[in-house]
Every structure is written in structure tokens, then in C-alpha cells.
Structure 1
């Protein structure tokens, strides 16, 4: 009898899976269909939507070049000025030629993060596969650029001339290891923060089904959602400014 009661409670109890929201599913077809590299999935749809938002903001929103800008044009100019100053301050004038790449990267991550906060949306940047590709693109790009611009002098980035001679080889090994860890930390930082916040919202949403906990759950969801709005913008900024720092190392390895 006790076993049947426990089983009944287990069947009627609260069951929720906070990580279901990160599952990649085909956009068309039946649920459970395999997802191949050519499958149009929820991930590809929301990434395409983020890219479309970038185009709408920068191309469509500013096509008039009005002296008195519209709200969309004002927003585009504000973001343009913000990222432009970031690139100039971190990398110097020489880094401004790479501004379009960094601007696009920032806006794509920003829109991906914020679109993921919509109800029933999917957050592409919560997947390490997406953030790893972005981080590897930055890592490979700045490494190739460093050798193209400086030749073998780029290796001076790992050789600390200011340190005592007997410590330089040890520091060089540490610097090489930290350099190759960059794409790992660069990608995990972005994905990990988004996964944690979205999972917490889902957990508290599950508790909302319990009448006694419902008011507390709503308050918690509101607070975490507000925090996630901040995190979405901050993580896009952190990813971008780290990209600028890595670009600075490629342009000025001796500094």
C-alpha cells in the first residue's frame, strides 16, 4: 500500500526539466526526428533571426541618413559610437580597420542573447557549439593576423623581457598555455552564464505550480529575468572587449 502511494505521488508530483529549453530540435517535421548538419533547426532559425536583426538595425534602420534621426537610427548610431570607441580605446587607431568585424560580432551576440529572453524562444549563445565557433574564429583570426603583421616577432608576446632572465622560460610556458586556453574561456564564459540564468528561471517557473510557493516563485522569476536582461548585454560586451584585447596583442605584441 505504501509503495502504491509513493508511486502515485511520483506520478502526480511536480516534474520539470530546466535543460529541455536548450535541446536542438528540427524546425520542420516530427518531434524526435534526427538533426543533421543540413537540418533547419530551432538553433539555425534563431541565429538567422539574430543576423536579420543586425541587418535591419544597421542597413534598413539607417538607410535614410536623416539629419534628425529616427529612433532606430538613433539606436544604431548609439551602438556604433559605443563599439567604435571601445575598439579605438583598446586597440588604437590601427585596430579601427577591423571595426566592422567586431561590430558585427557584438551585435550578433547581443541580439542572440536578447531574443533568447522572449517566451518560447531559443538562445543560440547558450550552446557551446555556437560560442566555440565564435571564439575559435577570434582566436585563429588574431593569431594569423599577429604573424602576418609582425612575423616571428609576434612570439615576443610570450617572452617577458622585464622579468628576470631565469624566470623568462617559465613565464613563457605559462603565457603559451594561457594563450591557447583563450578560446575555451572565451566561449564557456558566454554560454555558461546564459545557461545558468535560463535554467534558474525554468526551475522557479516549475515551483509556480505549487500554490504555496507561487507568489515567491513569481517574485524570484521577475528578479532573475531582470538580472538576465543585464547579463545578456554584459556578456556581449565582455566577449567583444576580450576580442579587442586579443586583437591588440596581435597588433602590438611587444606592449
Structure 2
């Protein structure tokens, strides 16, 4: 067995490694183009490609590109209306962008030899933290300094008020980590399992003889898991967008 084959089988986490494609350092800052940058660019171009073809012409019966955009639009607007009401329509662009980008990142990562951007905690945490900052800005804009009353439980005894404020503050901050870790953990664990089973199938195939025929069984399991991972890819994008709507509603409607 070649050294490359051994690495493929023995390194299921190798698929998550950042690879520098174009080194770029400016004033001691590393701004290199990596595989993550490349795939984010591919996702952006793909989305713009679909949007361009969906807007091409005014058809009474939508073509396949229009249908994709319309279904996604309807799905996201339902999430917003169910959790924010009509006042949440102003936030449709950001929710739509979050859902679409995460879904495309998750699905693209299922293609062999591709790269899954959402399998890195640095990306999911950065996205969650940026959203968290934006939500707080919206809360302060809507309520002014009264927004900080969100950390003061109503009717709480004065003696334990400092402790309750600390608990509320910690639980509020934890939202960033729940958003980031849920997406990262689910995508990483699923892709790792797929790689392990694929490596096991490859090992059986290279053994030769009767044992090589047994590689069909892990391959069947692999096909089933790929279908499951496609569902998880959609579900995680949905949950992320849903939680953003819920957190937005918390800061807009709190009393």
C-alpha cells in the first residue's frame, strides 16, 4: 500500500486542514489565500450564478433556477414570520444570506476532495460572534439603555439580584458558543465518520481475495450516511437561521 493510501485511511481529520494556496503577508499580518478562501469564493460565484439565471427573463412559469430561489425565499420568509412577525421582514436579507451560505457550504463539503468551511470552529465562531454583535446593536437601537434591563429578572429579591444578573449575563453570552459549536460539531463529526467508513472500505478492497468483496457493505453504509449528511447539512443551516431569528426576537420584544 502506498504512503498516500495510508494517509487517506489513517488520517480522517486531514480533510479539515487549512492549506495555503497563495502566501500573502502584509505588515506582519497573514492574509494568505487558503483552501477555505477558495471554497467561499466558489460558493459566492455559484450563488451569483444561480441568482443571475433566476432573474434572466420574466417567465410566467419559473425555470429551474427561479424555482430554487423562490423555494428558498418562501422557506426563509416563513421562518422569519413565524418567529419575528411582519416586523422581521426588514431582516430578511441577512437571514436569507446566512441560511443560503451555510447550506451551500455544508452541501459543497460533501463532494469528494472538496473542503467544508463550516467544519472549522474559527469560521462558525466568527460568524456567530459577528451576528451576536449585530443583534446587540439592534437591541440598543430599539430600546436604548433600557436594553440592559434584559439582565434584570422581574420580581427578583434584591439580596440575590447580583447573582441573578451574573447568571443571566453568562447565559446570554453562551448564545455565541451554542451557535458556533452546534454547527461545527455536527458537520465535523459527520464528515469524520464518512471518511472513516470510506477508509475502511478502501482497506478491505486492497486486501484482495474474498475479503475484497466485503468492501461492498461499508460502501452501502456510506451511501446511506451521505443521504443522512445531506439532511443534516440542510437541518444545521435551518437551525442556525432559526436561532438567529429567535435571538433577534428576544432583543426586540423583551420587557
- TM-score, normalization: structure 2? 0.85
Matching residue of 2:247: 246
Q: Secondary structure at the match of 1:92?
A: helix
Cα-Cα RMSD: 2.2
Residue 180 (str. 1) matches residue 167 (str. 2): no
Shift of 1:199: 0.5
Q: Which runs of structure 2 are paired with 1:66-77 in the superposition (5 Å)?
A: 66-77=59-70
Q: Secondary structure at the match of 1:210?
A: helix
Q: Secondary structure at the match of 1:188?
A: helix
1:158 to 141, 144, 151: 151
1:91 to 76, 84, 100: 84
Residue 42 (str. 1) matches residue 19 (str. 2): no
Aligned residues: 237
Deviations 1:182-212 (A, max 9, x none): 1111111101111101100111111112243
Q: Which runs of structure 2 are paired with 1:143-222 in the superposition (5 Å)?
A: 143-161=136-154, 169-208=162-201, 209-211=203-205, 212=211, 213-222=214-223
Structure 2: where are the runs of 5+ without partners?
24-28, 206-210
Moved more, 130-139 or 169-178: 169-178
Q: Secondary structure at the match of 2:235?
A: helix
Moved more, 37-46 or 229-238: 37-46
Distance in 1, matches of 2:96 and 2:239, equals 13
Structure 1: where are the runs of 5+ without partners?
1-11, 30-35
Distance in 1, matches of 2:134 and 2:243, equals 14
Deviations 1:125-182 (A, max 9, x none): 1111111111011100001111111012212322232666766554432221011111
Q: Are the equivalent residues in 1 in contact too, given 2:53–2:65 (CA < 8 A)?
A: no
Q: Are the equivalent residues in 2 in contact too, given 1:125–1:194 (CA < 8 A)?
A: yes
The 1:54/1:37 distance shift into structure 2, 3 A limit, reads farther
Matching residue of 1:131: 124
Distance in 1, matches of 2:57 and 2:157, equals 59
The 1:97/1:214 distance shift into structure 2, 3 A limit, reads same
Distance in 1, matches of 2:155 and 2:40, equals 45
Distance in 2, matches of 1:149 and 1:218, equals 54
Shift of 1:60: 3.4
Moved more, 136-145 or 92-101: 92-101
Distance in 1, matches of 2:6 and 2:14, equals 18
Deviations 1:84-123 (A, max 9, x none): 1211211122221111011011101010110111111100
Distance in 2, matches of 1:81 and 1:163, equals 42
Distance in 2, matches of 1:222 and 1:181, equals 36
Q: Secondary structure at the match of 1:27?
A: strand
Matching residue of 1:22: 16
Moved more, 86-95 or 198-207: 86-95
The 1:27/1:13 distance shift into structure 2, 3 A limit, reads closer
- TM-score, normalization: structure 1? 0.85
